[in-house]
Structure 1
Amino acid sequence: MDPSLASSRPLTCVIIDDEPLATAVLQRYCAQLPFLQLVKTLHDAVSALTFLQATPVDLLFLDIEMPGLTGMQLAQILPANRGPRIILTTAYDQYAVQGYELGVADYLLKPTAFQRFIQAVTRVHQSFAAAPPALSLTPVPAPAEPPAPTTSSAAMFVKNEHRLQRVAFDDLLYIKGMKEYLLLYTADGGKILTLQSFRRVEEVLPPQRFARIHKSYIVSLNRIEHLERTKVQVAGRLLPVGDAYREPFMALIRAYNQL
C-alpha cells in the first residue's frame, strides 16, 4: 500500500444496496482497509438521499437497480461538485457509459474481487490526499428555475406512425401508458401516440425534470400545478400518484425544492 495512505485521514463511506449478500461483501471489504470508515449501510436510494442531505460523506458504494429511486437517478440528483465520490456496484455492464458520463470514480461489476475493490478505493483515496475533501451536502436555496438537465439534448425522438418525431422536453406535460403504447401530452394540446416502453423513455428523459408517479404516468416536474398525497394536477388534469411511487416522487420534489 502507498505509504501516503496511512498518514491521511480515513474516507467516510456509505453502502447503498438492496441485496443483503452484496452489502455483506462490501462491509467485509471495508472492514479490512484502515483508510475506509463505513458510517452507514442503506438499502434504498430514497433513504440514502435523506441521509446524505444531512450527513456529508466522502464516498458512496452505490448499486444501480433498486426499487423506487434507482442508483443512477440518485447519482444524477447529488451535486456534482459538492457531493461524495461514487463507485457504482452492479451486476450489469450496460450502465458503464452512463456512469462515466456522470463522472463516477469507478464501476465495479458483481461479484467484485477484493483486489479490484482495493484498486478502486485506493484511487479515490489518493485523489482525496491531493485535493480538498467534499463539502457538505446541506441543501442550498433553489434557483428560480429548475436545474438544467445533465443531458446535452433538449428533446427526444419517438416513433409516430412511419416517422421519428421530435418532442422537446420543454413542451412535454406528461406521458400516459396504454398497454404497449405511450401517449405523450404536449403543451400545445397535442397528443402523440408511440409504440414504446416506459423503461426506454425513462432512460432518455432528464431525471431532474421528469418523474414516474404511477405505473401508467410520467410527469414533468416543472408542469405540476399542485399536488396532494394521491394525485397531482398538470395542465388542469388530475393524475394519480401510485402507492409504490409516492415516496420516491416526494423525495424528488424535496430535492428540487419544488415546494
Structure 2
Amino acid sequence: MSDSTTKLSAVIVDDEPLARRGLRLRLEKLRDVDIVAECTNGREARERILELQPDVAFIDIQMPGISGLELVRDLPPEQLPQIVFVTAYDQYAVEAFEINAVDYVLKPIEEERLAAALERVREKRASADIANQREQLLEAVAGLTNESPLELEQRLAAGDLGGSQYPEKIAIKDAGKITLVPAREIDWIDAAGDYMCVHAQGETHVMRITMKELEQQLDPKSFQRIHRSTIVNLERVREICAHINGEYYLVLNNGERLKMSRSYKNKVQHFL
C-alpha cells in the first residue's frame, strides 16, 4: 500500500459502465490516485481487492447479486481497504457516514466532494486501524436503519440486505441544497436532455442523473418505465386508455396523461 506522500491505489466497483467511467475521469483529474482495477460486480471486486490490496475502494451500494454492503462484509477485516461508498442515499445515510468516519460520494459525483473524500481517506490511513473498518461500516449502516450492529450483522448473514433495498427518499441536489423527496409521493418522472424532472405533489424537481441511474433507486414494484423517457408511479394510475396505433395513454389521479409507447406495452400487466 502507498504512504501519505505517494498516490493512493484505488479500485472502482460499479455495475454501470457510465458510472465507472465518470468516476475514473474525475479521479484521474485529481492526479494523486492510481486506479488499479475496475470491477462490475461484487464477486469480481472481492477477488481483485484481495489480490491487489488497494488503499481505497469506491463501491456502489446497490448492485445486482452481491450488494456493496455484502461485499464489505465478505472481505477479511485485515485486508479491508478504506471504503468510500458511492450512493444516492438520503441525508440520514449522509449523517451516518459522516459521524462514523466512513465516507460517501453522492451521485452525480462532484469533484470537490471527491477530493474531500480522498483527503479523509489519507487522514484515516495515518491514524486508524484498518481492521476496524468493517465494524465502523456496520455501525454507520445501523445508524441508517435504526438497527443495532448485531441485528444488521445477522440480516447480512441471512442475505436479507441485498441489491433489492431502495431508499425511501430521493436526494435531489440543486443550487447548493439537497431536497429530499419521498419516493411514495412521486407521480411520474420524465427526461429533459441530461436532466430528470421529478413530479411530486404538484411540484417539479430537476436533477442531473441518467434515467437508468434514477430507475435503479426506485422500487420496481411501485415504479415502471412506460417510455424511454418516462417512469410512472403505478399507484398514481387511474385509467389505461388504448390508442388506435397500438399505444396506450395512462391517466393519473391528478388528470395528467402519459404516453406508453408500443415497446413498453407489456408493462400493462403491472397495472392490473
- TM-score, normalised relative to structure 2: 0.45
Relative CO higher for 1 or 2, CA cutoff 8 Å, sep ≥ 6? Answer: 1
Q: Which has the higher helix share?
A: 2
